[in-house]
Structure 1
């Protein structure tokens, strides 16, 4: 294939691939856990320099992982990062930085907490970016509760009388919208009058 032509005939050439994978778990100790991984690759060989060896196509430029464990109130009990592959040896110096988040709560003002606890030049841009999908994965992990086929199912949540944490969290789950009115009418509010 010529370097300036794509195999699919689009007139473009793949230069970079970023993959983000997140998995959420409920642990035997009752904590919720997320493992998140960011991998950057190039489809061409990258020459060696005095910081690292030559990278073949598909070898990771970045392979960054984080793990968070939280309780039902979204308070962080454990936080760790692992830099499996980095462009520079100094990148691994930031691995302990997530420990600063232990004891903090995920919720309103979360981004500000991260900015306050982890200075821009103390952390890793890619690790900070990975926190976003990790946290939203935690919300998805918790959404059906600890017993999704039983007492924590959506039907049971509907009948429990307790407001699920996801109500009011996005456009579809706004209290004045049709989804809350249908699925959780006890928490629905009337739409604001339009001008």
Structure 2
């Protein structure tokens, strides 16, 4: 259901983050992300002709990761189309340091190690978060959809087992979809009712 009716208010800032996941013909995957920040009012900016207008992007940034099925990064492209300072785009080439890295445990730590503070762009680094989760949704999602065609007993337990409430090994979701990985018993907790879980994942 939607959020409750808010108090009287005025919109000042809008951030849009979009991500796309592509399966390539060569067996690799392209995951792209874009972040756009706009204001509803004009404000001064010396690097952009003196003023940024309402609706004109303050930030407009793109990033593309090319990964293999094991989530190893083969290539990366980053670009900044709009930024508050003319110096901002010069940092994008540093993100090629991610080539050869694997997205998985320790990903956030690796981003801080490479791009924290003066060594990166706050917004570009932030964009890598949803890009990484989009990669999992794309690659695991494709595998999951293909697995759904198999009988439940033949499905391999998902790599994301025990990473969230719905995918706990003792949840009814796991009991139904991956019975060989199920660790629960009869008499489920009402907090793990199938109806509640269906509401959460649809």
Give TM-score scaled by structure 2 length.
Answer: 0.80
Q: Compute the RMSD of aligned alpha carbons.
A: 2.4
Range 134-143 or range 152-161, more displaced: 152-161
1:95 is aligned to 2:89: no
Instruction: Indicate the SS of the match to 1:80.
Output: strand
Runs of 4+ deviating beyond 6 Å: none
Q: Provide the C-alpha distance between the structure 2 equivalents of 1:45 and 1:84, rounded to a whole number of angstroms.
A: 19
Which residue does the alignment assign to 1:24? 21
Q: Provide the C-alpha distance between the structure 2 equivalents of 1:115 and 1:172, rounded to a whole number of angstroms.
A: 30
Structure 2: gaps (5+ residues):
186-202
Q: Provide the C-alpha distance between the structure 1 equivalents of 2:131 and 2:6, rounded to a whole number of angstroms.
A: 36
Q: Is the alpha carbon distance of 1:9 and 1:147 closer, same or farther for their aligned partners in structure 2, counting shifts above 3 Å?
A: closer
- Which of 78, 82, 86 aligns to 1:85? It is 82
Mapped contact 1:33–1:68 kept (Cα < 8 A): yes
1:40 is aligned to 2:37: yes
Q: Provide the C-alpha distance between the structure 2 equivalents of 1:157 and 1:111, rounded to a whole number of angstroms.
A: 36
Q: Provide the C-alpha distance between the structure 1 equivalents of 2:176 and 2:66, rounded to a whole number of angstroms.
A: 33
Q: Offset of 1:73 from its aligned partner?
A: 0.8
Q: Offset of 1:120 from its aligned partner?
A: 2.2
Instruction: Indicate the SS of the match to 2:17.
Output: strand
Query: What are the residue-to-residue correspondences of 1:45-194 with 2, within 5 Å?
Result: 45-49=42-46, 51-53=47-49, 54-145=51-142, 148=145, 152-156=146-150, 158=152, 160-190=154-184
Q: Offset of 1:74 from its aligned partner?
A: 1.0
Q: Is the alpha carbon distance of 1:159 and 1:84 closer, same or farther for their aligned partners in structure 2, counting shifts above 3 Å?
A: farther
Which residue does the alignment assign to 1:4? none
Q: Provide the C-alpha distance between the structure 2 equivalents of 1:158 and 1:26, rounded to a whole number of angstroms.
A: 26
Instruction: Indicate the SS of the match to 1:173.
Output: coil
Q: Offset of 1:116 from its aligned partner?
A: 1.8
Q: Provide the C-alpha distance between the structure 1 equivalents of 2:94 and 2:171, rounded to a whole number of angstroms.
A: 40
Mapped contact 2:153–2:179 kept (Cα < 8 A): no
Structure 1: gaps (5+ residues):
1-7
Give TM-score scaled by structure 1 length.
Answer: 0.83
Mapped contact 1:144–1:153 kept (Cα < 8 A): no
Mapped contact 1:144–1:154 kept (Cα < 8 A): no
Q: Offset of 1:115 from its aligned partner?
A: 1.6
